[in-house]
Amino acid sequence: MHNRVLIVLAASLASASTHIASAQEITLKGITSFAEKTFYSRGFERFIEKVNADGKGVIQINYIGGPKAMPPFEVGNALKGGVVDIANVTGAFYTNLMPEADAWKLTERPMSEIRSNGGYAYMAKLYEQKLNGILLARHVDNNPFHVYLTKPISKPDLTGLKLRITPVYRDFFQALGATVVQTAPGEVYTALERGVVDGYGWPITGIFDLGWHEKTKYRVDPGFYSAEVSILINKASWDKLQAAQKKVITDAAAWLEAQAAETARENEADIAKQKAAGIQVIEFKGAEGTAYRSKAYEAGWAGIIKQSPEHGAKLKEFFARSL
Ligand code: 173
């Protein structure tokens, strides 16, 4: 009798612990603001693979997909409201909620330094207040933006040209005299094809992903800024996680952010590919090139500081190169 009681007890304990283990596995909903499997989504996709491999029985991410599932400029709202738990997105896509996020493009120091110099902590407060979110990992860095054109220019002057933008480029392109029109990346091909725009802003990598090379004749050098794409998590979703679940996420995030410097290798590959595709480089050299880049940073910081005077000035101290 005694033995039977023990067996029953042991069996019920075993089933209870199995039950607890399965109840502990949590599934987060993940979305990307760039097309699936394209350059700016790939880091996020590697992150999801790692979380799903390391987090078996603990935590999983259900990848909902990209702009076919949700317009890119809606991703910030969805994260803030908890419609999605985790998102791959750039600051320029949620300036409606947090204009300061667009300042990531102006960093002239590695993320490791920004994490140690107080810049990350400063931004983290703004993420919590304005986005109800946490920035887990910046996986794109060292990836400059460029002007791409269908018509040539002979000096750093965009007067008379209409260019596709996001908030990343607005202040700089306007300072150079351009007329601007904001679109999501998914609308760039059609805008070029219809001649609605004479060019667009985009980083050095990725123009082949959506076929834009077919409609692009010129790239303007030098590049400017450093593109930022990051993985964010909703604060309430994060707070619900247990320590072991958080660890799977933070380990994968640190692993991914440490790879961001390697993005620069991919830059070279796309530069060669653009050349092979017949895209001509219009290069501003020497003092003209330096002035062009300085104007980009001046216009960029002026734009951030205008929208958020106190935080903008503070972020410049953390992000800009010390002179
Ligand atoms: O041009 C864009 O859509 C944009 O703002 C961006 C930002 C980071 C990476 C790629 C594109």
pLDDT tier at 310, thresholds 50, 70, 90 = very high
Rounded-to-integer distance, Cα 43 and Cα 121, Å: 23
For ligand 1, is residue 204 a contact (CB within 6 Å)? no
Look at residue 97 and give its three-state secondary structure. coil
Mean pLDDT of 95-104: 98
Higher pLDDT, 295 or 20: 295
At 17, is the pLDDT very low, low, confident or very high (cuts 50, 70, 90)?
A: very low
Dist CA 16 CA 231 (whole Å): 35
User: For residues 227 and 90, is the Cβ–Cβ distance under 8 A?
Assistant: yes
On the question of pLDDT at 20 being above 90, the answer is no
Quick check: 199 and 217 in contact, CB under 8 A? no
Kindly state if the Cβ of 201 falls inside 6 Å of ligand 1: yes
The candidate with the shortest Cα–Cα distance to 147, out of 92, 201, 89, is: 201
Indicate the pTM of the whole model. Answer: 0.93
Q: What is the mean pLDDT of residues 1-8?
A: 46
Q: Given the CA of residue 206, which atom of ligand 1 is nearest to it?
A: 10
Residue 241 CB neighbours (<10 A):
18
Measured from the CA of 168, which atom of ligand 1 is nearest? 5
* Closest residue CA from atom 1 of ligand 1: 202
Residue type, 214: E
pLDDT of 260: 86
pLDDT at 36: 98
Q: How far apart (Å, rounded) are the C-alpha atoms in residues 87 and 30?
A: 6
Q: Could you report the per-residue pLDDT of 185-215, keeping only the tens digit for each?
A: 999 999 999 999 999 999 999 999 999 999 9
- Confidence band for 9, pLDDT divided at 50, 70 and 90: very low
Residue 23 is predicted with a pLDDT of 53
Q: Which atom of ligand 1 is nearest to the CA of 143?
A: 9
- What is the overall mean pLDDT for the chain? 93
Amino acid at the residue 59: I
Pocket flag, ligand 1, residue 185 (CB < 6 Å): yes
| Angle, helix 309-319 to helix 119-131, in steps of 10 degrees | 150
Q: Is the pLDDT of residue 1 over 50?
A: no
Ligand 1 site, residue 143, Cβ cutoff 6 A:
no
Give the orientation angle of helix 286-307 with respect to helix 309-319, to 10 degrees. 140
CA of 152 to the centre of ligand 1 (A): 23
Q: What is the pLDDT of residue 25?
A: 96
Least confident of 53-62, 252-261, 287-296: 252-261
The reply to whether ligand 1 has any atom less than 6 angstroms from the CB of 168 is yes
If we measure between CA atoms, which residue out of 142, 104, 96 comes closest to residue 123? Answer: 104
Query: Stretch 94-108: mean pLDDT, rounded?
Result: 98
Residue 111 has pLDDT above 80, yes or no: yes
How close is the Cα of 155 to the center of ligand 1, in Å?
Answer: 24
**Amino acid identity, residue 196?**
V
Would you say 147 and 199 are in contact if contact means Cβ atoms under 8 Å apart?
yes
- pLDDT over 70 percentage in the chain: 92
101 Cβ inside 6 Å of ligand 1:
no
Going through the chain in order, the beta strands assigned E by DSSP cover 26-32, 59-65, 86-89, 133-140, 145-149, 162-165, 179-182, 199-203, 218-224, 229-234, 280-283
- The model's confidence at residue 11, banded by pLDDT at 50, 70 and 90, is very low
Task: Decide: 72 in ligand 1 pocket, CB within 6 A.
Answer: no
Can you tell me which atom of ligand 1 is nearest the CA of 200? 1
34-59 pLDDT, tens per residue? 999 999 999 999 999 999 999 999 99
More confident of the two residues 187 and 264? 187
At residue 91, the pLDDT reads 98
Please give the average per-residue pLDDT across 113-125, as a whole number. 97
| 92 within ligand 1 shell (Cβ under 6 A) | yes
For residues 237-263, give the mean pLDDT.
95
CA distances from 70 to 65, 136, 203, 246, 280 (A): 8, 21, 22, 26, 35
pLDDT of residue 6: 45
Q: Which atom of ligand 1 is nearest to the CA of 202?
A: 1
For residue 322, what pLDDT band results from cuts at 50, 70 and 90?
Answer: low
Cα distances (angstroms) measured from residue 73 to each of 56, 201, 316, 318: 32, 17, 25, 27
Higher pLDDT, 272 or 13: 272
Q: Indicate which atom in ligand 1 lies nearest the CA of residue 93.
A: 5
- Rounded to the nearest whole angstrom, what is the distance from the C-alpha of residue 25 to the centroid of ligand 1? 34
- Tell me the mean pLDDT in the region 114-118: 97
DSSP string, 68-89: TTS-GGGHHHHHHHTSSSEEEE
232 lines ligand 1 (CB under 6 A): no
- Whether residue 227 has its Cβ less than 6 Å from ligand 1: yes
